[in-house]
Amino acid sequence: MASKEKVAPPPEASEKSAPPPENIPPPAIPKYFVVGDVVLRFLLFAAAVTAVVVMVTSKQKQPISPPAKFNHSPAFIYFVAALSAAGLYSIITSLLSVFALLKPRCSSKLLFHFIIFDVLMLGIVAAATGAAGAVAYLGLKGNSHLQWNKICNVYDKFCRHIGASVAVALFASIILALLIILSAYSLSKKIPK
């Protein structure tokens, strides 16, 4: 009497039943990540525009001294240019984030590009904020070793504008750091486990 043996299916049949790992679509990013990304990018736009407007409107005239304007300092000009670029960047990336919201299975490449350009923009904004903050600190405190006098006791309104603009730019830098963290976390969610 012949025993009934189970015959294993040919290897080709088992491979056809399960799709290869590279054809499995990556998991979708949760909507609240994309909504958070859009909200943070809108806040970045608001912070960048506010910092630029406050800096550009920082003018003060004194009867005896020459007027103080933001464009008398290369650091402040760089600050305005960098924050203007950050505002434009936030508009473009907000539109891309909304596109990602409409297409839930957005590409990992988009998230990777967000991380790269967010890091680049954070470097630019942080450098501009540091440069403007250093000049503002010299205006506030002066430097007795180099015989640089403080000017904020004469141009108090001008210095308040500069200080407020630098503070808002610091907020923009924090938003960019949060965007980098959010994009990296979203990208890690797309990696199959």
Higher local confidence (pLDDT), 172 or 9: 172
With respect to residue 1, please indicate whether it lies within any of the assigned structural domains: no
With respect to residue 22, please indicate whether it lies within any of the assigned structural domains: no
Check pLDDT > 80 for residue 146: no
With respect to residue 110, please indicate whether it lies within any of the assigned structural domains: yes
Check pLDDT > 80 for residue 102: no
pLDDT computed for residue 68 by the predictor: 77
- Say how many C-beta atoms besides its own lie within 10 A of residue 91's C-beta: 14
With respect to residue 109, please indicate whether it lies within any of the assigned structural domains: yes
Residue 52: which domain range? 29-59+69-189
Joined tokens for residue 175:
């938003």
Residue-wise pLDDT for 81-98, tens only, equals 999 999 999 999 988 888
Question: In the chain, how many domains are there?
Answer: 1
Mean pLDDT rounded to a whole number for the chain = 81
Residue-wise pLDDT for 147-167, tens only, equals 677 777 878 788 888 999 999
Check pLDDT > 60 for residue 74: yes
Average pLDDT over residues 141-147: 72
With respect to residue 117, please indicate whether it lies within any of the assigned structural domains: yes
Highest mean pLDDT among 32-36, 41-45, 60-64, 71-75: 41-45
Check pLDDT > 80 for residue 104: no
pLDDT computed for residue 158 by the predictor: 85
With respect to residue 151, please indicate whether it lies within any of the assigned structural domains: yes
Highest mean pLDDT among 58-62, 77-81, 137-141, 148-152: 77-81
With respect to residue 2, please indicate whether it lies within any of the assigned structural domains: no
- If we measure between CA atoms, which residue out of 108, 97, 93 comes closest to residue 32? 97
pLDDT computed for residue 111 by the predictor: 77
Q: Which of 41-50, 56-65, 75-84, 119-128 has the lowest mean pLDDT?
A: 56-65
pLDDT computed for residue 72 by the predictor: 81
Check pLDDT > 80 for residue 76: yes
**Could you give the 3-state DSSP secondary structure of residue 68?**
strand
With respect to residue 90, please indicate whether it lies within any of the assigned structural domains: yes
Higher local confidence (pLDDT), 107 or 176: 176
Q: Cα–Cα distance between 169 and 128 in angstroms, integer?
A: 9
Residue by residue, DSSP assigns 106-148 as --HHHHHHHHHHHHHHHHHHHHHHHHHHHHHHHHHH-BTTTTB
